[in-house]
Structure formats: structure tokens, C-alpha cells
Amino acid sequence: MNQKIWKSKLATWLHDPAEKALILLRDKTGHEWGTVATLREQIFGSRDIPSDVAPYLRRADWYASAADRPQFPLEDDGKRYATWSQVDFASKPVLRHPLTGTAYDLGTLKEITVENLKQVSTDHFQGLICEDDTGQVDLKKTCLNYWRFGPNTPADDLYGVWQNLPADTRIPDHSIWSHLDISSAFAGAMAADATQTPALLSVSFGPVQSFIAEARSTSDLWAGSHLMARIAWVGMKVICEELGPDAILFPNLRGVPLMDVWLRDEVGLPDELFHNEEWANKNQRSDANALFAAALPNRFVALVPENRAQALAEKIRERVQGFVLEQGRRALDKILKEIDESLDSDLHCYKQLKEQLQGFPEVYWAAVPWSLAEGDRDANGYVTADDSELRPILGNFFPEDGHIGFLDSEAWKLLSGEIKVDGARFYRPNPGTLYPAIHELLDRVAAAAKSARPFAPLEQVGYRSSLNGEREWLTLDEKQLSAHKPDDTLWTRLSVKKPGWVKLGENLDALNMLKRLWPTLFSDWVGKVLGNKLDRYVVSTHTQALAVSLNRWLTHPGSITPELRAELESDRAQRTALPRCLLDKLYRLEGTSFFEDAKLVCRNLPGLLDSYKEREEEDKANQLEKRIRDEIFDDQKPEAYYGMILFDGDHMGAWLAGNEKKYQQKFGDCWHPAIRASVKDRFKDNPDLESYINEFRSPSPARHRAISEALNNFSLQVARFVVEDCYKGKLIYAGGDDVLAFVCVDDLLPVMTLLRLLYSGKSIPGWLEQKDIESKNGYLRLKNRLILTMGERATASCGAIVAHHQAPLGLVLRELRVAESQAKDAGGRDAFSLKIVKRGGGAIGITDRWLSENAKGAAELLFRLMKLFSRQGISRRAAYNSVTWLNQMEASPNGDMLKANLAHQFKQQGADDDGIILARELVAHVNQHHREESRDFLANFLMVAEFLARES
């Protein structure tokens, strides 16, 4: 069975060449008899598709094509497409953004010759063929190699093109890789099912938010996010092992570091193929390694065999819950060894561990078989679409006499009927066309399954965990659970031996113990993967606060005194994780006489200060702060505040559902511009075709694949690039459209805004000063790649907090979530909410839209105002004086008077002409967007900018 699955999938990868778009109409041999025929002969011994898997391939291609592509009229013989619908893509290489329809012109590709292209492609794929021990082609490894490395650019002149070559030149809104992925997924599911019937399977894990929220430190926060992502991967791996990673439609796993490690270390793909991957860099010996990025969501959707859906779901549940229990046992073993306690399975803590981890995580699943959409089958195996079974089932999830989603849409009415075009005809719809209805039903069944959440009560009678107050803390002796302030417990002993694992007074339950030890457990695993010891540094808010001062010092570093060096080398100075760009700046000093001292200061100073503060050794902390102020920071007080960002895409559920018009595009907008022009001219008097062109498309596998690819690009490449490469930040979590990150105060506004722009592929304004990336029309050019984003119609909201590094993390996280909610609710989405939590009490903040049509965007105005207040030559009294007279005015004063007075105040405090212009632009923005509350909004805006200037 396994051989049949992998043979079917590999044959599917060889039915269309990757370069198909560039050789159509240019190669007389035809796209099916060039590169792929050569590869078929080498792999299968014949230039033809193997007859034993041809039925699966043919049907899979039918389903995938029908699900993904708007259809074209056939000629009168019903076999050939009309000549007017052909496109010479090499001459007119235009991509259509799959989510917005925006055109992206690649220029011209005519200089790439057919002969050279075919040779490059053949060499590329021949180099990916794997053999087994007997010298025969290993079908599974070769298939997985093609999936993972096929899209890698095989020649320099194909950068930005190869990864985006369309599957169909007439509808260039999805790539050949997307089509091959989906066709292969269908073929594998059909080959594994006795009736050749696939099903959609949805699996999700939880609870997520409550698990992550139980955090007392930044490392807890990272660990909760990362552990949930790792759990999701353990579940996804079950599908990958049996059906391949292309069977998972959402999320897209290509390029995910955990997937790469599995391919290399468990599947056995050649090690040299991964040498250029960032995660495989053995010199990257800290948690800056990409494997530490939490980049997988807690839900996935897969194409599976209908008769295996339930068994796979149960296997996933068993695998992930077994994984958590295994990791919990490893964590507890480490703790007991550390406190010199025997690993006796009769200890009460082992019993508690099993009870508390039982049933975690919760696993919810639902499946919908394609048999509900299948009708008659002809002699050639062609199956027609039939909604008679699907309609009543889907109707149960809609209001009585209501509109049953896709099945009652104009699109389905047109597609299921017959559109006549000058004697030609459209195709007969097959079950692939009903993908939108299948997916719609899956969403509703999955939601119903999750709402019927089973609850198994856990009796807990003793003292509870410090972090949640729900579960008992783990103990060596059950009697200690009822004793008043027991001494010599597991946790008191551990706080002495390993204060980095647990602080004095903390008592943890099984889940929080696992989360607290997860950085250590995962670092050990990564060390084995890389083949060398890995240093796991503690993520510290204090490091983020000090990063600005450290960055300034590293520009002109000096030696430190022996007394300070001895203090920084003591056991109390725990190493902390540096922002990547600060780390790069530090290592540029390697080989100089300052390097060792600089490394000691950057790595150990924040941890040493934190150690004194945690143990309430205020005198030592104050003395150290004075010493570094005098010896290192040129008598300047180091920054004490840091920024935190919670970024989230708007309406992601609606984008995935794709059943609202504002998240859809019309059929005609998917076509190549040349085709669109021909259709309008040729069939302008055909009402059926006109209706078809102007009807909105429903979701397709390629659409979901595009969303997954865009979110994958954003989480794996863009978020890390912005937060850690461009600015002095530390990425905690980036999964899909969600980002959680620490940043320095002076970088807060640029990071927020750049994330927002690159999420949608919008152009970057000059004030952000980014030269290493190009963004337009929903695509990014980054590191020699043209990558897809969510598109210009997609929006995102962001909550941001500026807090003192000693503020309780739980409080900061609560305020951060409130800020994000304000951005979505009070801001109306596509907005940000920035709040400053002062150490001395009180808070100020603003909530505003990112961008405006007729005025400067709020983020840009705030950034420029911050820079104005931080410059020498203008007093920050401009802010205080302005707020003083604003408080004496009515809630919405006269706009012209407001503009004149603010400009006057700025001029009085030393502002130049640019500052006076900024004052007028700010008032124009307030009058246009906050007229009813202009006084209070402007006062808050000024005070937020003043505080940011003070801290930067």
C-alpha cells in the first residue's frame, strides 16, 4: 500500500513540468514529453505514466484543476481549448495575486531560452533522485525531495521567477507548485482508499490562550508558545509519515525548520541539501537559531483517504498526548537528578504528573468525505459532481429556509449548468468543483465538535501551583500538600540548586513544570540535531531595555575594570539572549582587544542586575547601576523601559472561509490581462459568460494554499527579518498572522508599521528607511526571492505596550491583550493601540488607524514627533505647555485655532520649519479623524510622543 501511495504521488509530480508556463507555445515537443518524460523514463523505466497508478493521477488532476481554476470554453469537438485562450507567458509574464487579483508584472522572460530552461530543470530534478541500498529509485525519498527542494531556484537568472511560475498561464493566480502539491495530495488519498475517495480532515489542539498566559517570566511566555507549536508538529507528523507533507493543505509546511529536521534525520534525505538552511548553521549556537521560532498554528487541514480519517485522527490524539507525557517525565527526571533525588516511580510527584497531564492537549477533529459530492462515473473514470447528498447535510447548519452557502451561490448555479459560447461548451463539473461546499461543511462540523468539549474533572485537594491556583504543586511527599509552609520540598531544594529553573517561593504543577523546563529540554534536542552543544540564554526584558545603551556603547567600546569583570563573571550573572542585530554588532568586534569585555557586558550585565533585584539586594543593584553608568555609558542613565508588540491579522476566519464578497475576487479578475481583454471583446453580447466573468469565486484549495503560503512567509521570514534583522528585537512567537515580540522603545513604531506594511505587501514609505526589501502589489522581494503576502486588501491590528523592565510580566501581558482588543474594537481594525505603563503609576496611550487617505498616517506622525522631541534644540516643554493650554479648551476646539496654537508652541520651544510643518500635519490628522475628541486625543498624542522620546 505504501509503495502505491508514493508511486502515485511521484507520478503526479511528473505529469506537468515546473517550467510549463515558459515553454507553452514555444516548444514543439509539448510540455508533457520534455523534462518530465525524461524523468519518468529514469524513475519508472518508461516515458509514459505507469499504468497501475495512471487512474489515480488522472482523477487527482481532474479534481485539483476543477477546484482551482476558472474554466474556459472548449472548441466544438469538446476536447481542445479555444485558440484565443492561449497565452505566451514568456512574452507577457504577469502574475495575479491569488487573494486580490492585483497584477504583478515580471517584465519579460523571452531571454530565457527553451533549451536552456529544459536542461536546467532536468538537471535540477535528476539531482534530487534518491536511491535505496539496492540501487533502485527510492520513491518516497524522491517524492519528498521533489516536494521540498523542487521549488528552490536552480539557476541565478530564475530568482524571483521559478518559485512563482503559474500552473496555468491563462489563470496565473496560483503556482505550478501549488497545483503539484494539491494534485499529489489528492493522488495519495485516492491511492490509499479502496474506493479512491478522499476526505478533508480538520484537527485542532487546545487550550492555547490559557496555557500560554500562565507565565511569570519571558522564558515561560516563549516556552508556552513554542511548546504548543511543537505539539502541533507532532500531530502533523502523523499525516506526513503516512501521506506526505503536501497532504496538509493548511498550514504550508515547506521550509518549516521542524519539517526539515524530520526529512533529514528521520526520512533520511541527503544532509548536503540542507546545508544552506539557516537552522542548520552549526555556528549559530544560541536561541537565535530558527528552530527556536514558534511558527506553527494549533490547527491544520489535510486531504486524507476517506476510510482512514478516523484512524488517523485517533492516532494523532494518541501521539500528541503521549509526547506531552514523555516530555513531562523527562523534565521531572531532570529536576530530581538536580536535587540528588532517586528516580523512584513510587514518588508522589510521578503519580501527580500522570494525572495532571492526562488528556493534554485536548484534540478536536472533524472529517468530511468527498463521496458526498460524487455522482455518476463514466467508462473513462470521469466522475460528475452531484450535490444531492451534500445539500441536506449542509442545510442542517444554516437557518431554516436560509441560503446554503456555496450550493446556493450564483457561481454554483452557473458552474453546475451549461454556459453556451458560440457553439462551444464548458466542461462538465466534477466533484473537485464542490471543494467550497466540502470545506464549508468541514468548518461547521469542526466548530460543532469543539463546542461539545468533554470535561473530565480532576480532584485536587492540596496546595496549588503558584502560576494558576488550579492544580496541586508537585511534591515528593503527599503530606507536604497540606502542611503549612513545608520546608525541604522539591521546589525549595531546586531553587537553591537551579535558581534559573525556579525561584524561591515558587511551586509548580506538572504543566507549568514542563513549560519551565521546556527551554532546557528543547535546547538539548537542538544540540543533538546540530551536533554540538547549544547555549540556551534566558530571554530578559531588562536586556531589551538596555539594548539601546549597549548598542550605543558597542559603537565605541572600551575595556572594563577588573572589579566589574569579576562581578560579571560570578555565578550570579546569568546569560541572557541578545537581539540578533546587537549580537551581530558584538561579533564584528571579534579579534579586537575589546571583544571579551564587550561580550561579558552584553551577555551578563542584564542577568546580574536582575539577580540583585529578584533577591531584593537593592544596595548591590544600585552600586552596579552607578558603576556601569560611570564606566560604560558615559554618565548617561541606561534605559529602563522596553516595548512589547502583539500583532494579529484581521478577519482571518473570513479570509479562510472566503464566502464574503469583500474577501473574494471575480472569476474574470483571475485571468491573464490578455485573456480578460479577449473575453470582453469576443463575448460582450453573451449574458451567460458575462455573468460567469462577474461572479465572485468561492474558496479553492489553491486559495487556501496561497493563504497558508503567505502566512508561512510572514511568520518564518518576514517577522524575523523585521524584528531581529532590521531592529533590536526578540521574536517570541510568529505563527501565521500572529506575532509576539519584544523590542527596544526607539524601534517600537518602525517595527509595528513595517510588520503591517509587509503583511499586505504594501510599499514602504521613506521614513522607515529600509533598503533591503522591496514591497508592492502584494509581493515582497527579500533575499533574492519574490514571495507572496496576504495582499493589499488584507489588514492587521496591533497592540503595543511600553513598560518598565521590573513590571510584573502578567500585568504587562494583560495590558497588551487589552491594547490589541482596543485596536480591533475601538480602532475599528486596521489600527494600533499603544499604551505606556509608567512605573510610578498611571498610564497614557492612543488608539488610531495605521494609514489615512488624505493625511499623514498616525504611526508616521507619532514617529516624527518622537524624533522631534528627542533632538537637541527643541525642548520637550513643547509637549507640556501644549497640554496645559489644551486642558483649558473645550473638547473639540476650532481646528484652525488648534493648528495655529500648536505651531506657535513648537516654535517657542525651538522647533525649526520641519517641526512647525509637523505640528500643522498633526492637527490636520486629528481634525479629520478625531474631531469629536480632538482636545483629549491631541494631548495624549503629545504625551506619548514625549515619553517615547525620553526613553529613546
Cell of 947: 515619553
**Tell me, what DSSP letter sits at residue 358?**
T
Cβ atoms within 10 Å of 630's Cβ, excluding its own: 10
The predicted structure's pLDDT at residue 833: 96
| DSSP character string of 700-744 | -HHHHHHHHHHHHHIIIIIHHIIIIIISSEEEEEEETTEEEEEE-
Biggest CA pair distance of the chain:
92
CA–CA separation, 71 and 79 (whole Å)? 13
Give CA–CA dist 440/301, Å, rounded. 12
Does residue 806 surpass a pLDDT of 60?
yes
For residue 397, pLDDT over 70 is answered with yes
User: Could you give phi then psi for residue 403, rounded to 5 degrees?
Assistant: -80, 120
684 neighbors 776 (Cβ within 8 angstroms): no
pLDDT at 827: 85
Question: Do residues 302 and 243 touch, judged by C-beta distance below 8 A?
Answer: yes
Grid cell locating 565: 569583570
Could you read off the pLDDT of 140-169 as tens digits, one per residue? 999 999 999 999 999 888 888 899 999 988
Cβ-in-10-Å burial (0-12, 13-18, 19+) of 380 comes to exposed
105-128 residue pLDDT tens: 988 888 888 889 999 999 999 999
Supply the Cα-derived Rg of the chain in whole angstroms.
30
State how far the Cα of 478 lies from the Cα of 350, in Å rounded to an integer.
Answer: 11
pLDDT exceeds 60 at position 942: yes
Name residue, grid cell 452531484: 386
- Model confidence band, residue 419 (pLDDT cutoffs 50, 70, 90): low
Q: How confident is the model at residue 854 (pLDDT cuts 50, 70, 90)?
A: very low
- Residue 115, sorted as left (phi over 0), alpha (psi -120 to 50) or beta, turns out to be alpha
Extract the C-alpha cell encoding 454: 468533554
Convert the pLDDT of each residue in 340-388 to its tens digit.
999 998 999 999 999 999 999 999 999 999 999 998 887 777 888 999 9
Q: Quick one: three-class SS letters along 44-88?
A: HCCCCCCCCCHHHHHHHHHHHHHHHCCCCCECCCCCCECHHHCCC
pLDDT digit string (tens) for 634-671?
Answer: 777 788 899 999 999 999 988 988 878 888 888 888 88
Instruction: Please state the pTM of the whole predicted model.
Output: 0.90
- Whole-number mean pLDDT of the chain? 87
Task: Report the percent of the chain where pLDDT is more than 70.
Answer: 92
Cα angle at 364 between 362 and 369, to 5 degrees? 160
| Cβ proximity of 254 and 148 under 8 Å | yes
Helix (H, G, I), strand (E, B) or coil at 424: strand
How far apart, in whole angstroms, are the C-alpha atoms of residue 582 and residue 605?
14
Q: What secondary structure does DSSP assign to 485-534, as a single string? A: S-SS-HHHHHHHH-TTT--TT----HHHHHHHHHHHHHHHHHHHHHTS--
Rounded-to-integer distance, Cα 384 and Cα 434, Å: 11
For residue 519, whether the previous peptide bond is cis, meaning omega lies within 30 degrees of 0, is no
Provide φ and ψ at 159, rounded to 5°.
-60, 135
Closest Cα partner for 620 from 690, 659, 567, 670? Answer: 567
Does position 195 have pLDDT exceeding 80, yes or no?
yes
Give the model's confidence band at 409: pLDDT under 50 very low, under 70 low, under 90 confident, else very high.
confident
The span from the CA of 839 to the CA of 849, in Å, is 27
Write down the pLDDT at residue 594: 85
Contact between residue 435 and residue 700 where contact means Cβ atoms under 8 Å apart: yes
Contact (Cβ atoms closer than 8 angstroms) between residue 906 and residue 899: no
Residue 74's φ and ψ, nearest 5 degrees, are -90, 160
**Helices 309-338 and 348-357, packing angle to 10 deg:** 150
Digit-coded pLDDT (tens) for 465-510: 888 778 899 999 888 888 766 677 899 999 888 887 888 888 899 9
State whether residue 24 is helix, strand or coil.
Answer: coil
